[in-house]
Amino acid sequence: MFYQDPFDVIIIGGGHAGTEAAMAAARMGQQTLLLTHNIDTLGQMSCNPAIGGIGKGHLVKEVDALGGLMAKAIDQAGIQFRILNASKGPAVRATRAQADRVLYRQAVRTALENQPNLMIFQQAVEDLIVENDRVVGAVTQMGLKFRAKAVVLTVGTFLDGKIHIGLDNYSGGRAGDPPSIPLSRRLRELPLRVSRLKTGTPPRIDARTIDFSVLAQQHGDNPMPVFSFMGNASQHPQQVPCYITHTNEKTHDVIRNNLDRSPMYAGVIEGIGPRYCPSIEDKVMRFADRNQHQIFLEPEGLTSNEIYPNGISTSLPFDVQMQIVRSMQGMENAKIVRPGYAIEYDFFDPRDLKPTLESNLFTACSLLVKSTVLPAMKRLRRRACSLV
């Protein structure tokens, strides 16, 4: 069954890249469809509840200069704003904002639902419609077919996603969400070079079980920065501090003594991890001369008791995660409410692209990797398929 109306652009996936792509296409006057497996998770911050920082904040500013959504959303949802490297030259400074997950998600969804030319539809996509070497649509899990001149896949970690906690693993796009296995299989049928990437996230801690009185506070800047060029500090919600603790030799001993239970070091995970976001296992092994690592305890929101311990991303078993957390100052009685994990997922080799970001597979098909979707939006009228 085909949906009654065709679209100019279909966006598959409603994370950071997907929401920006959908907004960009709709702002250009294109009739745009955003397909997501769950409307309630549009704009969901899967890992760190923050926007910007070194090597990232300038990208948010660039997206904002192009009319993007992210900077505007964080100005409405940021609960701590700072300028990093403020004592150095302007070229290396970076704005960073701690986010309230709920407020950020609400800001993104409100913007999407009020954007002209944009329709949102809840269904997982399982197949692409290919005719005469052109991608002309998508097929959802219930068999509903949508036609479009361009299809953009912004699928993040969902393509055949596999979550690892210790030596146990299970399928998932992220914790609590299903993976996109049929779409992954469909894409693997095409002559594309496919491999696996890996990323991870730390355990979340119950703030009520942390002794903040023995920890150093880290407050935001005053006057408060803003992210969007059209933003104002009056848009910011209540501001709160973060806290700082450290790993120690006891922490490192726990990690070293349990590396045989780490899926990365036991050879269970084949995917390549991010260069600038190493797990705590990698930090301990790669920087063996260091006797401590700084850990930032970041609130997940104004109405949440969860704390994000920035710096201890791990896929070690739950019992080892408990030992790691409780080995640090102020965390001796801490309780974990969500375990940390690693996730493996499919990615497509960006070297298979032309300079225009079009692939060599279809006449008008482009494959995009993360963070490249927005510069390519200018070319959406002549795209057929994109993969982010």
What does pLDDT average to in each consecutive run of 10 residues of the chain (388 residues)? 95 96 97 98 95 94 97 98 95 96 98 98 96 91 96 93 98 96 93 91 99 98 96 97 98 98 94 88 96 98 98 98 99 99 93 68 48 39 41
Give the predicted TM-score (pTM) of the model. 0.91
pLDDT at 362: 55
Residue 72, number of CB atoms within 10 A of its CB = 21
pLDDT at 359: 65
Nearest to 371 by CA among 344, 353, 350: 350
Angle between helices 57-65 and 70-77 (to 10 degrees): 120
Beta partners for 35?
12, 121
pLDDT at 376: 38
pLDDT at 296: 98
pLDDT at 356: 60
Residue keyed to tokens 């990615």: 347
Question: Which residues in 35-61 are b (16+ Cβ under 10 Å) and which e?
Answer: bbbeeebbbbbbbbbbbbbeebbbebb
Domains along the chain with CATH numbers? 7-201+347-387 (3.50.50.60), 204-344 (2.40.30.260)
- Taking a C-beta distance cutoff of 8 angstroms, is the pair 216, 244 a contact? yes
pLDDT at 386: 44
